[in-house]
Chain A
Amino acid sequence: MRELYFRLPGTLGALLLLVGGLLATPAQAQDDILNELEQQTPPSTTSSVVDATFKSSRLINGHTIQTPGKGTMVFLISHRFGTLNSGPYNFFGLDQATIRLGLEYGFTDRLTVGVGRSSLEKTLDSFVKYKALRQSTGAHAMPVSVTLFASSALTTLRYNDQVEHTLARRMTYSYQGLIARKFSPALSLQLMPTLIHRNLVATDQDPHDVYAVGFGGRQKLTKRTSLNLEYYYLVPATKPSEVRNSLAVGFDIETGGHVFQLHVTNSQGMIEKFFVANTQGNFFKGDLYFGFNVNRNFTLRTQDKFSK
């Protein structure tokens, strides 16, 4: 009835309003007052950030644009068993395992710093992650989220070869621009241009700088589970010999403060220098590492409104 008033010429509308006002039942009048209120705050003028593009800070092996948020500490346990095709003698890979333990902390909603240690080559790593752009809707909408990522890795392995393993030679650096868009509440896709700089390489033919482009995404199956895919394509010009593109398929389960991620991948390592620049397994020949990531969130500092 209300909409009818607006379509009519002003005077006639006003007249109808008078009549309508006298005849209106309370229920119709109540409808009006809520509509009036809604009109005061048209939704299109407010911009809102699209969050929860991914459930975890990891897609599978690599990072997502997601940062934990101010005051939140994430404890991350990542595990990869041996290859599935290693036979019953090795219990299809379960006899061997590599692990990475990590801690990351959100200093602000955008800035995260993390450290970790991988059992593979006894590697320590640290990284900085900064959410440069946040996807948003409404006025001045931003179509994608962009997170910048930089990490350094130090292998502490004792070598028995003729090379003098200086500190510099033990370092590897990784740089990523993570670009993601949440297309719907269920579907998010991510693009990851990547550069790995290795200070020490095996032969003269091997490049120090390895370029790769990763892409992946998640499709939610239910509110709390999703199917994930991640693929890193090595740029042929800088592809190290004997190294394959990394492919991973995973399944995420979220339960309150935990996210469990189960996956199979042809990469054994869990940091960029390993899975981007040193993946050996052939996914389609069964060189598959079954693994999982467990994320546990702790709130170290509550949001400002609640700090007393």
Chain B
Amino acid sequence: MKHCYSWLCMALLLGVSSSASAQRYSTRTGSVSFFSVSIMEDIEAKTDQAAALLDMQTAQVAFAIPIRTFEFKRTLMQEHFNENYMESDRFPKATFKGRVTNLNVDLLHKGGPQRVSVEGDLTLHGITRRVQTTGSLEVASGRLLVHTLFSVAPADYGIDVPLLVREHIAKIVTVRVSMACDPVSPVTLAQP
């Protein structure tokens, strides 16, 4: 309860300094998928339970993806993904926190997609690395649409692939993020 107070205060502060349009957007049902193509096997997985919070005033973004919610074509792949590669018991979430480096808020509220650069820390399998990528932001019917496509090398995050199946798993995995975020006010955010 104590921090509701602080939030109220912050809301007032924001109310003074910002325009009427929403500054923060969030979702819990963002889509994240990844795929890797190799000679032996194509691997593809999806989840619709990615959470995101984007602050358009400070240009900060945060994503959290529960690893166990990824679904694969093959049940066995899913099991191996959680058990052997991602070790989902130990590292249940992948997270990203960073900022949009070239955000133009005025342009955003005029409508139409805006190409943006994002940089920040990606934490995967317990290992955090600085990453940079591009994506697009668009405000359409009051919602913030977020799209990005980037590559991840499992080896960079301490995910080792045994020799025997090395041919099956690509060195580079492409990740696609697609989200529609609803506007939030800081006051409602503070109440869990």
Contacts and interface: CB of A to CB of B under 8 A. Distances in A.
Contacts of A46: 66
B6 A17 contact: yes
B192 A297 contact: no
Contacts of B156: none
A26 interface: yes
Nearest to A306: B73
Given A37-B26, A72-B74, A223-B83, A10 B97 contact: no
Nearest to B47: A305
Interface stretch (B55-63, B102-110, B143-151, B170-178): B55-63
B165 interface: yes
A166 interface: no
A52 B75 contact: no
A29 B60 CA distance: 8
Q: Give me the 7 closest cross-chain CB pairs, A-B, nearest first.
A: A69-B75, A10-B5, A14-B9, A34-B97, A34-B62, A302-B73, A37-B53
A40 B29 CA distance: 13
B20 interface: no
A29 B9 CA distance: 17
A41 B5 contact: no
Interface in A21-78: 21, 26, 29-31, 33-34, 36-43, 46, 48, 51-52, 68-72
A185 interface: yes
B125 interface: no
A254 B73 CA distance: 19
B102 to A, nearest CB: 15
Contact of A223 (B26, B55, B58, B84): B84
12 contacts: A11-B5, A13-B5, A14-B6, A26-B99, A33-B53, A34-B62, A34-B97, A40-B51, A43-B92, A224-B84, A224-B162, A303-B71
B135 interface: no
Interface in B166-192: 168, 189, 192
Interface in B42-92: 44, 46, 51-53, 55, 58, 60-64, 66, 68, 71-76, 79-80, 82-84, 87, 89-90, 92
Q: Is the interface of B mostly helix, strand, loop or mixed?
A: mixed
B113 interface: no
A5 interface: yes
B55 A33 contact: yes
B68 A48 contact: yes
Nearest to B44: A306
B8 to A, nearest CB: 8
A10 B89 contact: no
Given A51-B82, A299-B74, A33 B6 contact: no
**Residue picked from B26, B51, B68, B74, most chain A C-beta under 10 Å:** B74
**Residue picked from A14, A21, A48, A185, most chain B C-beta under 10 Å:** A14
A37 B83 contact: no
B9 A36 contact: no
B143 to A, nearest CB: 17
B155 interface: no
Contact of B58 (A29, A41, A257): A29
B10 interface: yes
Contacts of B2: 6, 8-10, 13
Given A10-B2, A13-B2, A33-B62, A39 B192 contact: yes
A56 B132 CA distance: 41
B83 A52 contact: yes
Contacts of B189: 36, 40
Given A21-B10, A185-B90, 8 more contacts: A14-B9, A18-B13, A33-B60, A36-B189, A40-B28, A51-B79, A257-B76, A302-B73
B64 to A, nearest CB: 5
B75 A41 contact: no
A295 to B, nearest CB: 10
A95 interface: no
Contacts of A236: none
A30 B97 contact: yes
A109 interface: yes
A219 B10 CA distance: 52
Contacts of B73: 299, 302-303, 306
Contacts of A18: 9-10, 13
A172 B116 CA distance: 69
A256 interface: yes
Contact of A21 (B13, B120, B121): B13
